[in-house]
């Protein structure tokens, strides 16, 4: 085994690719020839046990040729897949996931390869979450994954706390916690700005969920408890954190944990991995924490200004605590060098640049609202199931038929425009789609299109409102825009059939 672990990685990679290319067609042919036998009775169990036994024998061998060693990996996966197929057929979903999770951990115990144990640990964690998710309890489809992820996190912490069999628990635990961190980040929803860069990705995982329910409040409270536990763990590991400023920082993180129920588990994993010196896992936990914090941007039950104030206030407090701690640990002023002032200078410069950028964007929008031409665009019907989604309204506009699915324009570097003609009431009728700005006829105007989810939309396809106000917006028949001569546009409101603006409140 030691010799195989020390082989050059390019050799291992090329051999693994060759083994997979040889194994997959062979397994596919066997599956087609024996499909009926393997899918009935004890067939999947027999095939799975035989493949697993053969793979374990090969992977435990010390002098096995590398090609055969790599052939055992797809055989291992196919064996587990066959067992999973049989368990899914014969057992309830949660029970089947639990049994398969135990089998995966048993295979990881039998195979003394750290990288395989890590992968199997991730797979076992996914199965454990599936087995631990309650059906029809604790918030249903929204909070059930949260509960499963946190119970699996408790199992990981208990295993790590025991400090037994580190050669087994360390790699398996690494894969396990990486899967959980990814799951918590995914459950928290899309993070700030990424939804705009990744077409087809939704922004809020909890859209439409009742955030005032008892189960949601319980999840928030538990997240706060986990943040406090993470602070206590850090203070136990580093005595320097046992001071009032550290308590202030912990209180800020705990408050953020209340707003983001996925944050508590991530912060606790971050504190544990840092305390144990597992810096790669700590980096993954820090990335998950940043992702979770960024997801707060898409909590649509909050006004944007309020969310910005919460995050800016928390950042300011944490920044002040960090600055004060650094200042307290510096030598007296007469012995300090000029270099010690560079960090506060960069912080101040970054803050000024951020505020300047934000204010420029706000001023640009205000200018567009003040000087843009008022234009109404008729709304088109949408799927009634997606019209009202708790706190936002799905919008669709009457545009040329080829706007949304024009494949050639999706690959263009510049955004296309739709040419419209404005009548005496201010209602714009769509005429044609153009790739670039062109000379217009009297009464015509350009509106720039925006890419989203692999299609082109007119500025925005959603209108957000306060939860519970959906009846007010059901009367909307037109979208009200402000349009500049260069095609820039902004959706500023909705109007009824008589072009009367619908007031927010």
Segment 102-119, tens digit of pLDDT: 999 999 999 988 888 999
Residue-level pLDDT at 462: 76
Same domain, 377 and 318: no
**Cβ contact 357:364 at 8 Å:** no
Is pLDDT at 173 greater than 80 in this prediction? yes
202 pLDDT band, cuts 50/70/90, is: very low
Is pLDDT at 293 greater than 60 in this prediction? yes
Is pLDDT at 226 greater than 80 in this prediction? yes
Same domain, 361 and 386: no
Burial class (CB in 10 A: 0-12, 13-18, 19+), 327: exposed
Residue-level pLDDT at 254: 94
Does residue 6 belong to any structural domain of this protein? no
> What is residue 476's DSSP assignment?
-
342/419 Cα distance (integer angstroms): 52
Does residue 67 belong to any structural domain of this protein? no
Range of the domain at 351: 304-331+341-370
Does residue 109 belong to any structural domain of this protein? no
Coil vs helix vs strand at 337: coil
Radius of gyration of the chain (CA): 29
Percent of the residues in the chain that have a pLDDT greater than 70, as a whole number? 70
As given in the structure block, the two tokens for residue 318 are: 């944490």
Is pLDDT at 80 greater than 60 in this prediction? yes
In sequence order, which ranges of 111-201 are alpha helices (DSSP H)?
A: 114-132, 140-162, 166-188, 194-197
Please name which of 213, 126, 118, 219 lies closest in space to residue 175, comparing C-alpha atoms.
118
Same domain, 320 and 389: no
Same domain, 351 and 434: no
Does residue 284 belong to any structural domain of this protein? no
The residue-averaged pLDDT of 187-206 equals 57
As given in the structure block, the two tokens for residue 152 are: 């699996």
> What is residue 404's DSSP assignment?
T
Residue-level pLDDT at 215: 84
Does residue 455 belong to any structural domain of this protein? yes
Same domain, 414 and 317: no
Same domain, 364 and 377: no
Residue-level pLDDT at 34: 60
The CA distances from residue 327 to 91, 195, 209, 324, 438, in Å, are 61, 39, 45, 5, 59
171/416 Cα distance (integer angstroms): 51
As given in the structure block, the two tokens for residue 269 are: 């994993």
As given in the structure block, the two tokens for residue 480 are: 């009200």
Same domain, 310 and 414: no
Is pLDDT at 74 greater than 70 in this prediction? yes
Instruction: Please give the residue that has the higher pLDDT: either 364 or 382.
Output: 364
452-484: pLDDT as tens digits? 766 778 888 777 776 566 677 777 888 888 988
Instruction: Please give the residue that has the higher pLDDT: either 398 or 230.
Output: 230
Residue-level pLDDT at 68: 73
pTM: 0.67
The CA distances from residue 446 to 409, 436, 438, in Å, are 16, 10, 9
Same domain, 352 and 380: no
Residue-level pLDDT at 354: 60
Same domain, 318 and 389: no
419-441: pLDDT as tens digits? 888 888 888 888 888 877 777 88
Does residue 161 belong to any structural domain of this protein? no
- Domain boundary at 323, 352, 370, which? 370
Residue-level pLDDT at 358: 62
Same domain, 364 and 478: no
Domain count for the chain, please give it.
Answer: 2
315-340: pLDDT as tens digits? 888 878 777 766 665 555 544 444 44
Does residue 74 belong to any structural domain of this protein? no
Same domain, 381 and 491: yes
Does residue 290 belong to any structural domain of this protein? no
Residue-level pLDDT at 210: 54
12-64: pLDDT as tens digits? 666 667 666 666 676 666 666 566 666 677 878 888 888 889 889 888 877 77
- Domain boundary at 319, 351, 370, which? 370
Strand partners, 93: none
Same domain, 409 and 486: yes
Residue-level pLDDT at 384: 43
């Amino acid at each position: 085994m030691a010799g195989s672990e020390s082989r050059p990685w390019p050799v291992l990679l090329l051999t693994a690719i060759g083994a997979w290319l040889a194994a997959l067609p062979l397994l596919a042919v066997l599956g087609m020839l024996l499909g009926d036998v393997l899918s009935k009775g004890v067939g999947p169990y027999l095939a799975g046990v035989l493949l697993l036994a053969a793979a374990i024998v090969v992977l435990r061998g010390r002098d096995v040729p590398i090609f055969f060693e790599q052939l055992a990996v797809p055989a291992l996966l196919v064996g587990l897949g066959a067992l999973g197929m049989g368990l899914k057929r014969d057992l309830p979903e949660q029970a089947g996931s639990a049994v398969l999770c135990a089998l995966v951990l048993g295979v990881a115990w039998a195979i003394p390869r750290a990288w395989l144990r890590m992968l199997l640990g991730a797979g076992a964690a996914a199965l454990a979450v599936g087995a631990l998710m309650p059906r029809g309890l604790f918030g249903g489809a929204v909070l059930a994954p949260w509960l499963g992820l946190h119970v699996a996190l408790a199992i990981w912490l208990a295993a790590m706390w025991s400090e037994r069999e580190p050669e087994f628990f360390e790699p398996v635990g690494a894969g396990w916690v990486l899967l959980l961190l990814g799951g918590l980040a995914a459950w928290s929803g899309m993070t700030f700005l990424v939804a705009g860069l990744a077409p087809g990705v939704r922004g809020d995982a909890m859209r439409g969920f009742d955030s005032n329910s008892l189960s949601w409040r319980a999840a928030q409270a538990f997240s706060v408890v986990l943040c406090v536990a993470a602070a206590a763990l850090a203070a136990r590991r580093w005595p320097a954190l046992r001071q009032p400023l550290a308590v202030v920082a912990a209180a800020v993180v705990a408050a953020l944990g209340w707003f983001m129920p996925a944050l508590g588990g991530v912060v606790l994993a971050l504190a544990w991995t840092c305390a144990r010196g597992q810096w790669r896992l700590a980096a993954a936990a820090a990335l998950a924490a940043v992702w979770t914090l960024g997801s707060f941007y898409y909590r649509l039950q909050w006004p944007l200004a309020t969310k910005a104030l919460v995050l800016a206030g928390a950042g300011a407090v944490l920044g002040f605590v960090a600055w004060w701690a650094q200042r307290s640990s510096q030598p007296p002023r007469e012995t300090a060098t000029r270099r010690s002032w560079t960090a506060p200078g960069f912080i101040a410069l970054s803050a000024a640049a951020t505020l300047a950028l934000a204010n420029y964007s706000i001023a640009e929008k205000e200018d567009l609202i003040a000087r843009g031409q008022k234009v109404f665009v008729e709304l088109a019907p949408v799927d009634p199931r997606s019209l009202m989604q708790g706190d936002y309204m799905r919008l669709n506009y009457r545009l040329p038929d080829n706007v949304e699915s024009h494949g050639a324009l999706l690959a263009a570097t510049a955004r296309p425009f739709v040419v419209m003609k404005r009548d005496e009431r201010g209602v714009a009728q769509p005429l044609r789609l153009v790739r670039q700005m062109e000379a217009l006829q009297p009464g015509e105007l350009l509106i720039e299109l925006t890419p989203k989810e692999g299609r082109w939309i007119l500025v925005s396809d959603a209108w957000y409102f306060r939860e519970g106000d959906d009846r007010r917006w059901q009367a909307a028949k037109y979208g009200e825009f402000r349009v500049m001569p260069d095609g820039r546009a902004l959706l500023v409101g909705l109007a009824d059939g008589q072009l009367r603006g619908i007031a927010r409140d």
